Structure 1
Amino acid sequence: MTIYDFEVKDSEGNMKSLSEYEGMVILIVNSATKCGFTPQYTELNEIYNEFHDEGFTILDFPCNQFGKQAPGTTEEIKEVCRSKWLVPYEIFDKIDVNGENADPLFEYLKKEQPFTDITGKGATKLKLVLKAVDRHYKDNDDIKWNFTKFLVDREGNVVQRFEPTEDLQDVKAKIKELL
């Protein structure tokens, strides 16, 4: 099984097969437009623009499960992403990434790349927030917060998970390796 076996809803609510991205290096992100990590859109855009012509893309999945930081409809979120953050890549339908209504793609991503630890700039603060919400947050593979990223190789294999606090330059270096 690879990510190419999944279908997801696009921002218009239509089903889209991820097999359309076969042969590309993909970064899958759960996002929110009102999060402390939202400024990552700027660097994600730069990474996308730098590598898109080499066969790289980003798939953005808005999620309102963390601090209710992705309010509004998918269309409203998409408008904010396009107008304020100038997001050039595909934004999909708003989803859940954890719990009983978690999108099957994200269940698969978590199984393929389990949670290990929160590292990087801001890790201590995020760990405190997570511990206040769930003191056992380390004991499961759930997505911990907005802007968790999964890197997928050209064969559709999930090769790495990046927590929101990890340096995007490290993400960029790994993308470059895969390209």
Structure 2
Amino acid sequence: MTFRPLILASLLAIAGCSDKAASDLDAAKAAAYIVFGLEEGTSFPSFDDSPPVFQQTSASPLTYVADNKNIRMAVSVTKADDCNYGFELVAKDGTFKFSFDFSGLSSVAVVDNPGGMGSAPHGTSLAGAKMTCDGQQSQEMCQVFKSAEVWPLRFNDKDPTRLPEAVQTFKNKYCKGKAA
């Protein structure tokens, strides 16, 4: 009796699972970039001389952490399905949990922040996306987004001109046929 076919089938199944895990991670990274401008090495908007820089600390769930003597923030992203992503933002002020449904996303742009003084200088316009917030603490951010379709916290994106192309890739590769 030979075990070669069984071993080969097992290896192929494992390879397929790892391709899905890699694809899910890439999709979560794309969602983090679309909403926050967040990727490895992105800095937190701060008046500090040395703003903290986000580093990826976990792949499942995708988690980035920025930390220095004044600020600590963690952002986690979880893929629910091809177009729906959950976010958890943990900061000194508390934990904010929300999700975005990108299936109706029609246009994106980096915009001046509607929050005004004391907030990040830029936000992300996500026309057509739907936001759902979990918990009382997250409701204020939900109201800001729902009133203007602008997510009010965009980190110091290294190259914001990439946003439209990143969204188009996201639509073509992950949220296929669902986003406008």
TM range (shorter): under 0.3
Q: TM-score, normalised to structure 1's length? A: 0.28
Q: Which has the higher strand share?
A: 2
Q: TM-score, normalised to structure 2's length? A: 0.28
- Greater Rg by CA: 2
